[in-house]
Amino acid sequence: MPQPEHEKNKNPKKKVNFTKIAVEVMAVIVVILTFLVPFYFILVNSFKTSAEASQLSISWPTEFRIIENFTEVLQAQNGMLIRAFFNSSIITVSSILILMVVASMAGFILQRRTGKSISVIGAIFLSGLMIPPAVVPTIWVLERLSLFKTMPGIILVMVAISIPFSIILYTGFIATIPKDIDEAAIIDGCSSWQLFFKIIFPMLKPIHATVIILNSVQIFNDFVHPLYFFPGADNATVQLTLYNFMSMYNTSWNLLFANVLLITIPPFILFLIFSKKIVAGMTAGSVKG
């Protein structure tokens, strides 16, 4: 006797649902192993004594030294971590402000104008994603401009490194803004500057949020470029404070992990708060364009 149609389709549906659940469970397990386990390892060892933390285990501490460890980290090298937070904050905020203005203006020009010269300029900007900055020539240029080991110098370096990707984001989003708005503004008597800063720039809020968050985390956590272009104890940034507890012959693992935890918290909180805006800003241009 032939099997009814609804009974034929019953088993395949169950199989699809089971597969979907299995994939979701595996994804959760991978996330836990990739992110939560390392974070737990750092957290637990930052609470231990120096001898116990040197074992580098994930066991719960037998003696808690939470206040002592974090106090010692904050007081190390005459409060270097506090100065580093100040330096990193100034570098990050200044770089982001410059990036927002310069990258949005460049993205507007590259999207609105056409021609061979515009294509060449766009290719030059995009090459920054593939060509890493050369350390020695950059130091030579900064020295000639009297910007080596200075705050303006490292800010300009961070802007130059972050600007190619930011221009790509702005260009893609500006493509979703109709050109009729530009023409109407020009007819109403707006100059080019008024058109951009009074009309176009406020319309870029979603992509502003994406550029701010992505570049803030990258610049704040940068280790290599401040090491090369902004050396000196007074110029330390948060990542460079890790050297306070590392040496050739000894490493204070409990203090090192406490330091890592302190410098990880601000960008981690920022990312959690604005994670939805990151996705919204990055997908807006690609979907509408």
Same domain as 19, residue 109 = no
d(CA 8, CA 15): 12
Half-sphere exposure of 214 (CA within 13 A, CB side): 22
- Within a domain: residue 71? no
57-61-63-65 Cα dihedral, nearest 10 degrees: 90
Indicate whether 249 pLDDT > 60: yes
Same domain as 105, residue 16 = no
Q: How confident is the model at residue 39 (pLDDT cuts 50, 70, 90)?
A: confident
Same domain as 87, residue 26 = no
Residue type for 127, please? S
- In this structure, of 12-21, 190-199, 215-224, 243-252, the range with the lowest mean pLDDT score is 12-21
Indicate whether 26 pLDDT > 70: yes
For residues 56 and 256, the answer to whether their CB atoms sit within 8 Å is: no
Q: pTM for the whole thing?
A: 0.79
CA-to-CA separations, 251 to 51, 245, 247, 255, in angstroms, rounded: 11, 6, 6, 9
Q: Which residue has the tokens 């020539």?
A: 137
Domain count, the chain: 2
For residue 227, what are the domain limits? 82-288
Q: Which of the two residues, 114 and 143, has the higher pLDDT score?
A: 143
Indicate whether 43 pLDDT > 70: yes
Ordered DSSP codes for 237-279? -GGGGGGGGB-SS-B-HHHHHHHHHHHHHHHHHHHHHHHHHHH
Mean pLDDT of 171-178: 87
Same domain as 34, residue 173 = no
Q: How confident is the model at residue 289 (pLDDT cuts 50, 70, 90)?
A: very low
Same domain as 170, residue 39 = no
- Within a domain: residue 40? yes
- Within a domain: residue 74? no
Phi and psi at residue 246, in whole multiples of 5°? -125, 140
How many residues are given for the chain? Answer: 289
